Structure 1
Amino acid sequence: MSDDISDSRKGLYYLGMVLGAAGFLCCFGAVASGGCGIAAGGMPHPGGIFPIFFVGMFLFIAGGILVGIGRRGLAGSGIVLDPKQARKDLKPWAKMGGGILKDALEEAGLKKEESASSDLETDLRALYRLHQDGILSDEEYEAAKKKRLKK
Structure 2
Amino acid sequence: MSAANDAESARKFYRASMLLHVAITSFLEQHPPDCAIADFIQSWVHDVASNLRIDRLAFNDFPLFTVAAMESVISNPALVSDASPFVISDFPHRITLCSRPPKGVTSFLERLLKTEMKMRGLMMHLVRAEDWGWCVWLEQRCDLGYDGGEDDQQW
Q: State the TM-score, normalizing by the size of structure 1.
A: 0.24
Larger Rg: 1
Q: State the TM-score, normalizing by the size of structure 2.
A: 0.24
